[in-house]
Amino acid sequence: MDYRKLLGKVESAVLPYFGGGTVDAPSRRLHLTTPVAPGWWRFEVKGRQATAREPASAEGLEDRPRVRGHLWGTRLVREGAVAEPLALMPEEEPPRLSPVTARRWHDGTLVFEGVEFESESEELARHALEEDRPLGEARGVGASLRAAFSFAVLEVASRGTGIPFAPVEARARVLDVARGGRAEAEACLRRLADERVRFVRMQAEQQARGDAEARALESARTERERTLQEFRQDAATRARAQERMAHGVRGGASAQGTWTGAGLTSGQQRRAEAASGEWAERALSKAGARMLDHRRLGVGLMEVVYSFMGERFVTVVEMATLRVRDAGVCLAGADDRVTLESLPSVLKEAIDTGALVITRHV
C-alpha cells in the first residue's frame, strides 16, 4: 500500500466549528489551518488538517442524542437543574424560558436544534419573572422550567448585589428560589459569599499554620545546627585547653589563669565557661573522684569541691585548662604543675605516704 497516496487524500466534510484551533469529526479531531467564525462549514480535510471552504447547512445531527430543556440565556437547563452552554445559537434570540431541544455532538457539545411548542407554564413563568414575583407553588411548572426561572432570578439578584454565581453553586437552591423569588435569591447569594469568605479565611489560616510550622521546623533545624556548631567549638576549645595543659605540665610554665591565653573569642569563652563544670566533672570521674559542687570565682578561675578516697577536697583551677592554681593541699609550691585530672593521683600518693596536708577548707 502506498501510504503517501493515503496521506495525500483530500476529503470534504460538513462539520460544526465551535471556536479554537480544532474541529471534531465523528471519528477524529482535526486541526484547523485557518481561523473562521463559529458555525457550520464545509471543510476540506487532508490527513488531520481541516481547511474551511464555505458556510454550510447543518448535517449529521439527526443521529445524535437529543436533549430537551428550557432556555436561560445561552444555556439549556435540563433535569437535575443542570445548565449547559448551547453552541451555535440562532441569530434570532428565542424568548426567555423557551422550551428548546439540542443535539449532543461527538465531543459532548450541545448544538442548538430548535424551539418547541410552548404551554401555559412557560408564559406563567415568564410573567412572574417580568413582574419580579416568585413562582410559589404554581402547578404545571416542570422541573427544568422551574430551575431555568430560578437561575434567571438569581441572575437579576446577582447584578443587584454584585455577588457572582455559577449555576452549579446554586443547583441545590433552585426550588427555594422559585418559591421565594428575589429575596430568597439574594439570601442564597449572600450565603455563597459568606462561604467564600470562610473558605478564603480558612485558606489564610491554613497558610498561616503552614508558614508557622515551616518557621518552627526551620528554627529547630537552625537550633540543631547551632547546637552542633557549639559542640564543635567546645570540642575545639577543649582540645586547645588540653594541649595547653599538656604543654604546661611538660614545660612547668606558670599559667596566668585567664581565657586570653587560650586564644578564644568572647562567644567561645562564654560557651567554654558554661561547659567548664562538665569538663571538671569528667576529669575527676576519670581519675576516680566524684565532683560535689563547683562555682565560678572570676578572672577565669573556678572552685571545685569533690570527694576522693573518703575525703572532701576544694581546689581552684583555671576554667580554660583545668590547670590547678590552688590544690587545697600542700604541694610545696608545685600546684601549677598538675591538672584537676592528675591531682587525685598526687593526693593518693600523699594519703598513702601520710604526707597529706589540707590547706583549703569550705
In contact, 262 and 321? CB cutoff 8 Å: yes
The answer to whether residues 81 and 176 belong to one domain is yes
Question: Starting from the edge strand earliest in sequence, which strands make up the sheet with 324-326, in order?
Answer: 290-298, 301-308, 311-318, 324-326
The answer to whether residues 72 and 50 belong to one domain is no
The answer to whether residues 42 and 127 belong to one domain is no
The answer to whether residues 45 and 73 belong to one domain is no
Is the model more confident about 159 or about 274? 159
Q: What is the mean pLDDT of residues 278-294?
A: 89
Q: Tell me the pLDDT tens digit for each residue of 229-281.
A: 665 665 565 566 556 545 543 434 333 445 555 555 666 666 767 788 888 99
Burial group, residue 178, by CB count within 10 angstroms (0-12, 13-18, 19+):
buried
Q: Is residue 32 part of a domain?
A: yes
- What pTM was computed for the model? 0.59
Q: Tell me the pLDDT tens digit for each residue of 340-352.
A: 999 999 888 888 8
> Which residues span the domain enclosing 133?
66-180
Distance CA 207, CA 118 (A): 53
In contact, 189 and 165? CB cutoff 8 Å: yes
For residue 308, give the nearest of 322, 327, 321 by alpha carbon: 327
The answer to whether residues 74 and 157 belong to one domain is yes
The answer to whether residues 131 and 36 belong to one domain is no
Q: Is residue 201 part of a domain?
A: no
The answer to whether residues 109 and 169 belong to one domain is yes
Q: What is the mean pLDDT of residues 55-79?
A: 95
Q: What is the DSSP letter of 221?
A: H
Please give the pLDDT value at position 255.
Answer: 39
Radius of gyration of the chain (CA): 47
The answer to whether residues 30 and 101 belong to one domain is no
Q: What kind and span of H or E run contains 268?
A: helix 266-286
For residue 25, give the nearest of 12, 34, 38 by alpha carbon: 12
Q: Is residue 277 part of a domain?
A: yes
Q: How many domains does the chain have?
A: 3
Q: Is residue 61 part of a domain?
A: no
Q: Is residue 204 part of a domain?
A: no
The answer to whether residues 41 and 71 belong to one domain is no
The answer to whether residues 104 and 165 belong to one domain is yes
Q: Is residue 257 part of a domain?
A: yes
Q: Is residue 206 part of a domain?
A: no
The answer to whether residues 83 and 49 belong to one domain is no
For residue 75, give the nearest of 12, 156, 160, 148 by alpha carbon: 148
For residue 171, give the nearest of 78, 74, 66, 99 by alpha carbon: 78
pLDDT reading at 328 higher than 90 = no
Q: Is residue 79 part of a domain?
A: yes
Is the model more confident about 181 or about 359? 181
Please give the pLDDT value at position 252.
Answer: 40
Using a pLDDT cut of 90, give the percent of the chain over it.
Answer: 50
For residue 192, give the nearest of 211, 216, 178, 173 by alpha carbon: 173
Q: Which of 128, 157, 180 is the last residue of a domain?
A: 180
Q: Which of 180, 196, 228 is the last residue of a domain?
A: 180
The answer to whether residues 77 and 176 belong to one domain is yes
